[in-house]
Amino acid sequence: MDVLSNLAISWLGPWLLFLTAAGTLAGIYIGAIPGLSVTMAASILISFTFNWSTNEALALIAGVFVGGVYGGSRTAILLNIPGAPASVATAIDGYPMAQKGEAGEAIGLTTTMSVLAGFVGVGVLALFAPVISDFAIQFNSRDYMMLGLIGILLVGTLSGESLAKGIFSGALGVLIGMVGMDMMTAQTRFTFGSVTLMGGIPYIVAMIGFFGVAEALYQLHNMKMPPIKQKIDRIIPSFSKVKRHFWLVVRASGIGSIVGALPGAGGDVASLLAYDHAKRSTKNPEVPFGEGAEEGLVAPEAANGSAVGGAFIPMLTLGIPGDAVTAVIIGALFIHGLNPGPMLMIDTPHLFWFIVGNLMLANLFLLVFGLTGIKVFTKIVECPKAVLIPLIIVLSSVGAYAIENNPTHVYWVLLFGVAGYFLKMYGFAVGPVILGAILGPMMDENYRRAMSSARGDVGMFLSNLVTSPISLVLTVFFLILLLSQTPLKRWCVNLFQRLRSAS
């Protein structure tokens, strides 16, 4: 009875209902605008909600989180400019759908599947939080390093022309992430004596440059192309379509919940793993992947949506943030006198069930707000490019400046924008650059921890990669992924076929 009453707190309280709705709506638009991040919005909200009750603060922030994670897919589909790193995979098939005039259908599909997956993620949180947190805690430093490598390799192989170009882009992103002062030793890296560079380059600046400005410059080639009229008569996907993708959504949600539960790994890695899974498991898609396949849209969005619930698992059970937003939420809990950690669920179980109920409510509002307002968003695509391109430049500049009020960041946006434009023109994907910039520092830190625990012995480090079960699975997956993109795969397949025909 207590569980049910705590679940229903935000459903039955008008003010909490309003805060959850407002947070979700704001989150959708924050997530859609590159440069306005959900983390930034959540941080601002902490100061606004300082004097509020815990439930009110959590309702608003959770709504922004749920809406923001979804919102990044809007501009990914409409403009090929992901609003957040977790939407990089969505753009691969979402944007081609918009180019065929199917933006309304794409957004409707992502909204519905994101909501379904969100409920799966919340269900996993409610039913399996302790089990998943036990599993998540077994991941050690080398496993996180491998997860980062897999994420970058995945995005490098899923888009772009070749594995070499994907690896180049990913490594470039890692180097961008390395700029600044090393957190462990305070050693400067790639700063060239500049005090400004000692603070590093925020990945959002790189994202705005490589995706926003580069795309705007790229679109200058298509000025004469008439705006694509978007079909918005069918927004809500048919029941048969939902049924067709249902099990893919369930599997992608599982991936999202588990990866989301890994501290430091979030929707960006989860969405790529889910996209790769969809590509491997879908035989004969109606439309090829990369050209507007619905499966390529559904899987990453489902993983993204369920990763939200997953991110709350380590936060509530272990006091360890699942991602940047839950790190902010932990701050909010401290401000309100609570102590996130293993004792939270024992001392304040009502809080756990309140969060579960609130996330379910936010998901419902996501369905409502996500499916309405599509017409307004699709009008953006129908705008003349001559108006859209300068506006993207202005928004990109504001977004870059807004991160830290640092004027240097807007110059980085131009540099990255020009570099990203040339990379795109020569067949490189820019997604791996952003993933590299985000995951690079995490991989560096975990690599050095893993190497330190192997006492600097390379042989021991490499043998640890295959002796621990989780490390072994990740290492094998990484090697299969790498080798499957080389001629070795074709040779193995040919050899296998020859052996079969010989026998």
Q: Which is nearer to another protein, 128 or 461 (CB)?
A: 461
Q: Which is nearer to another protein, 349 or 384 (CB)?
A: 384
Q: What torsion do the CA atoms of 373, 375, 380, 382 make, to the nearest 10 degrees?
A: 180
325 binds another protein (CB under 8 A): no
Token pair in block for residue 199: 């603070």
Rounded distance between C-alpha atoms, residue 233 and residue 215, angstroms: 28
Q: Which is nearer to another protein, 78 or 451 (CB)?
A: 451
Minimum distance, C-beta of residue 163 to another protein, in the bound complex (Å): 8
Q: How many CB atoms lie within 10 A of CB 159?
A: 21
Q: Which residues in the 378-407 window bind another protein by CB under 8 A? A: 384-387, 389-391, 393-395, 397-398, 401-402, 405, 407
List, in order, residues 6 or more apart from 137 with CB less than 8 Å away.
314, 318
Q: Which is nearer to another protein, 239 or 426 (CB)?
A: 426
Q: Which is nearer to another protein, 167 or 262 (CB)?
A: 167
CA distances (Å), 262 to each of 107, 139, 143, in order? 28, 8, 10
Minimum distance, C-beta of residue 324 to another protein, in the bound complex (Å): 18
80 binds another protein (CB under 8 A): no
Q: Which residues in the 151-170 window bind another protein by CB under 8 A? A: 157-168, 170
DSSP string, 218-235: HHGGGTTSPPPPPP-S--
Determine the interface stretch with another protein among 64-72, 96-104, 241-249, 442-450 (rule: CB under 8 A): 442-450
**Residue 107 contacts residue 291 (beta carbons within 8 Å):** no
492 binds another protein (CB under 8 A): no
Token pair in block for residue 133: 């947190």
Q: Which is nearer to another protein, 367 or 451 (CB)?
A: 451
Residue 181's beta-bridge partner residues? 188
349 binds another protein (CB under 8 A): no
Q: Which residues in the 211-270 window bind another protein by CB under 8 A? A: 213, 217, 220, 223
Q: Which residues in the 180-219 window bind another protein by CB under 8 A? A: 182, 184-185, 187, 189-190, 213, 217
Q: In whole angstroms, how large is the CA radius of gyration of the chain? A: 22
Rounded distance between C-alpha atoms, residue 132 and residue 80, angstroms: 34
111 binds another protein (CB under 8 A): no
Rounded distance between C-alpha atoms, residue 104 and residue 87, angstroms: 17
DSSP string, 38-97: HHHHHHHHHHHTTTS-HHHHHHHHHHHHHHHHHHHHHHHHHHS--SSGGGHHHHHHHHHH
Minimum distance, C-beta of residue 444 to another protein, in the bound complex (Å): 4
* 405: three-class secondary structure by DSSP: coil
Q: Which of 194, 286, 347, 456 binds another protein (CB under 8 A)?
A: 456
127 binds another protein (CB under 8 A): no
Q: Which of 150, 172, 214, 307 binds another protein (CB under 8 A)?
A: 172
411 binds another protein (CB under 8 A): yes
Q: Which is nearer to another protein, 245 or 409 (CB)?
A: 409
